[in-house]
Structure 1
Amino acid sequence: MITPRQSKLNDKKQLSTELKVNFPRQREQLLNILHYVQDKHGYISKDSMLDISNHIKMPVSEIYGTVTSYSEFKIKNPPSKQLKICTGITCINQGNQSLIENIKSRHSINGNLFKNGSINNISIDELDCGFICGVSPMIQINQTMHGRIEINGLKQLLPELFENEQ
């Protein structure tokens, strides 16, 4: 599996070539192409949007509008680690709120943890539901899901999140 960090566009023509090989030149391919670019590079850059625009003959403004309409698409290169905390009803009932509150208090965050961006180069996002309710509360670190997580388990998985504790 290619991780976003392993794949860099070294050559301006690389993405254009990949699009020509893998996707028909149809507007209907936009979401498939966006997912492809996001999965491969971790985000969708302005240069990528230009390449996509040239490939499917769609204005960059429409592509940008689509990218920014879906929360799973990122337009900035994300930190190397992504933490997603499940906020499904089962995870809420099983204690994910204590994880959230613990992280917020350790980093003096008032308000919504998920609007904060990143902490110690770890992005923190909400995951609507991880669909593994039998092992809730769950988190996802990059592409790996972890169930029955308590604060000590989170400390072991992401020690850098707890660096510089007061």
Structure 2
Amino acid sequence: MDKAPPEYWLRGSIKGVPDLLQPAAHALLQSKLEAYKYTKSFDETLLWKTPHSRASVGFHLQHITGVLDRMLSYAQEKSLSEVQFKELENEGVPNAEITIDTLCRNFDTKVEKAIDYFKKLHHTELTSKRCVGRQELPSTLIGVLFHAAEHSQRHIGQLLVTVSSLKSKDSEAKSALL
């Protein structure tokens, strides 16, 4: 039996990423891995279901991608674009044309973009001030990047619970038909 590789934070440094950003990079890569793992063989028809009035699997996958995209904009001192506002508005809106694979690949791409951005940073930049959101709330570059990483981990945990709940309900429903 093949042994699973350790979590990303136990795999060593990511070449080119400043030491202070290693934990954020590891968290994003772990989130990417787990997004694929938890949705593997997940019933596509359950993508937009909201068990117990909680967010859907589709929402969580859209949201972690969107938050990462928005945090990268703030990190680069950019305002959000109209496209980003539209995507934010559509997070969690059921769309039969969107697949789990597409949502996971979108997050995958955004994580790779974030890691590439991390590699361009020098550790002396990390405490520079950043403004977040329409209210331009104060943060730092490292604060924005860590928020993106921890936020993705939080939603991956919620995604796991939602997937487990839906699989359990789906299994119960199929058993009741027998």
**What TM bracket, shorter-length normalisation?**
under 0.3
**Bigger RCO of structures 1 and 2 (CA < 8 A, at least 6 apart):** 2
Structure holding more strand per residue: 1
TM-score of the superposed pair, with normalisation by structure 1 = 0.24
TM-score of the superposed pair, with normalisation by structure 2 = 0.23
